[in-house]
Chain A
């Protein structure tokens, strides 16, 4: 009996222990933010990958770029390079670096100098120079840079002096700067690389990262969490929070549970939006990401070689219903392939109206008044731009049935699906595109140019010389307003020709506790916790609650 009494006393003391520690925990949690991430990063070097999960965990937290985007317009602004200069032919670009950029000081590396030209040259030569000692470390694959053919574009990187470097390009390319500002083009430390070479542990450069970013890596437990500490000597003002923890929670429900139970402050890709909206201590945010989900036609196959038939179908589809059913109303209706957050977006493009009568008339003009049968290929997997293609296909089937077109829904396993699309076996298909950078060319060239019909990324097989000329011209100038004009022309051609029907630009979602203040999401690329602060005083909480009461959701673009 005595034992039981002892155990009881032990529990009592434990409980009393739990009761009396609120204050000190508050001070700890005030300076820390826990982010529930959807997966583990593959590496800590964003040069090596294109996956969004890895970008989120690395780019903006650990690293800086030469230049970066800022503001709603996504204009290029200085970062590590305080200024830059482009020669008239657009072939030589000189960057002038800041002189006060320190690298991370961690358990595994102590920097002896500030960032200089050597670091920048090291970071890019690792990618460009196949014989570079670090090129083959971690596999030698740099997918983003290989896709944009950077190796061919950049002839040479020249060190003018310790803080000035010059890129020599083989030809002018207006998307070059945009590509340097992406999350992939980060600056690594050459000094750290030298040290690792001496220790013969080169692979550590990608697993134990050293950068100049606002946070430094403290601890990574695979599949469990990543702990970052603030970079106290950051060249801008240091981040407001001291500790940033990525709690890796692949389960959708798990992330929501943790958010509801206050175990994480911010969560990626939340589900059950309605539930979050009901909680007035939580905020659901969204940005329209740069992507597009569409219905494409194989213009090499009848009847879709006829422009009128494509137009008829575009009038017959009720996009609003698709948005409601497939995206649960959480996406923006697409009028062109370019999302309206892109600077080149042109609001003069008219909204495609839903008009089945007009559609029938058009079919009659095309000589198909008796209707026809078509195959619609729906992708088998969930993608950001289309969460459920099969459901969408079923809805389109019903819409087209109303104007006398019979639709067979076809689906293959994902890789087979893509391969067969490349071979052109399809009549029409549901697919989408996610942008890698904010440059509008990232939509126009790979999706619909003539050359893309050969590489297999343009599966409509639509090839229009006028369109190709316009997007080439747009690339050869750096004048944004001129480029905008060119892209508006290109979009008009698309609206006339309709090789594909854009359906939706879906959003990227995030939910957070109201105590966390500051921008995290961006329209493209990864998240950033640099601007985040955390308030703990209860008064503020109440205030935010009343702020939100008029508009229970706080959805807006930022």
Chain B
């Protein structure tokens, strides 16, 4: 049975949709966003699209410069390294390691952090105070230092790096969620729904979350850029991805010995990291900008 519309409904987009509408009107943010999507696509399909293997090299194609160089070869667009491994393929595989892993890392820590953060926001008293103090301590230590500490405990390796960065990012999400939930709970509409007899979790799920999701997303982009830099830095220091994994930081460290004879093995992975972080930060800026505009409306 078809339902008739009794009231004239005004379309009222969710806070998230409002944000998106502002966001897509900012060209720079959209540029960053499309780069971001491009990187995600590359992270998923890179291994299929890559023309060569990232680990096995061609012995007759050692240290080939990029194609635009005089001695370059079109079949290796970005040149090769000292073992004849195609730089383009290594960077493409590296996208899934550096960028893809950092994305997964952010998702995992976001879920865990938001869960703990919202639970803690509902508690108060001694437990809350201890959590607050501990968060203060942890947040005062820079993320990279903390990641180095955790890798020092777990031992070097790519999987340990991932866990380290996850553990580093969780407190940030706890902090932001807790703060946002507390702020939101003071507002009248939450009080209204509470007076209606909604359970705390119902309030959280239906009233608060839709209103804080944008702030968490903005934090997520910050976390993502930190995660990329942390994974790459650990890889560069030899504490993260191990040889022969084509993680960007590790590729750069591998190119270090060739810096003076084959500088592209250092330039290219560095540019890749820079590109990924800038794209992420542009998206983050876009979200923050949109948030600000929405508030001002």
Contacts and interface: CB of A to CB of B under 8 A. Distances in A.
Interface string B267-287: 000000000000000000000
Interface in A265-299: 271-272, 274-275
A325 B59 CA distance: 8
Interface stretch (B112-120, B219-227, B255-263): B255-263
B260 A256 contact: yes
B111 interface: no
Give 4 nearest A-B pairs by CB, closest first. A275-B260, A272-B260, A272-B261, A253-B256
Contacts of B256: 251-253
A260 B83 contact: no
Interface in A362-413: 391, 394-395
Q: How large is the interface on B (under 10, 10 to 19, 20 to 34, 35 or more residues)?
A: under 10
Interface string B77-104: 0000001000000000000000000000
Task: Assign chain A's interface to a size class.
Answer: 10 to 19
B257 A253 contact: yes
A274 B257 contact: no
A391 B261 contact: no
Given A253-B256, A391-B83, A275 B59 contact: no
A511 to B, nearest CB: 12
A276 to B, nearest CB: 9
Contacts of A252: 256-257
A274 B263 CA distance: 13
Contacts of B260: 253, 256, 260, 272, 275
Contact of A272 (B59, B62, B83, B258): B258
8 contacts: A252-B257, A272-B259, A274-B261, A275-B260, A275-B261, A391-B83, A394-B59, A395-B59
A391 B82 CA distance: 11
Contacts of A251: 256
Nearest to B57: A391
A504 B256 CA distance: 27
A391 B59 contact: yes
Contacts of A275: 260-261
Interface of A: 251-253, 256, 260, 271-272, 274-275, 325, 391, 394-395
Nearest to B255: A253
Contacts of A395: 59
A271 B259 CA distance: 10
A54 B83 CA distance: 31
Nearest to B59: A325
Contacts of B261: 272, 274-275
A272 B263 CA distance: 11
A253 B59 contact: no
B249 to A, nearest CB: 15
A271 B62 CA distance: 16
A260 B261 CA distance: 13
Nearest to A390: B83
A221 B232 CA distance: 31
A500 B221 CA distance: 60
B259 A253 contact: yes
A486 B90 CA distance: 54
A271 B258 CA distance: 8
Contacts of B257: 252-253, 271-272
Interface in B152-205: none
Nearest to B259: A253
B234 to A, nearest CB: 17
A253 B236 CA distance: 14
Nearest to B83: A391
Contacts of A325: 59, 62
Contacts of A391: 59, 83
A275 B259 CA distance: 10
B85 to A, nearest CB: 12
Contacts of A271: 257-258
Contacts of B259: 253, 272
A149 B103 CA distance: 60
Nearest to B256: A253
Contacts of A253: 256-257, 259-260
A325 B83 CA distance: 10
A271 B59 CA distance: 20
Nearest to B261: A272
Interface in B40-79: 59, 62
B122 to A, nearest CB: 51
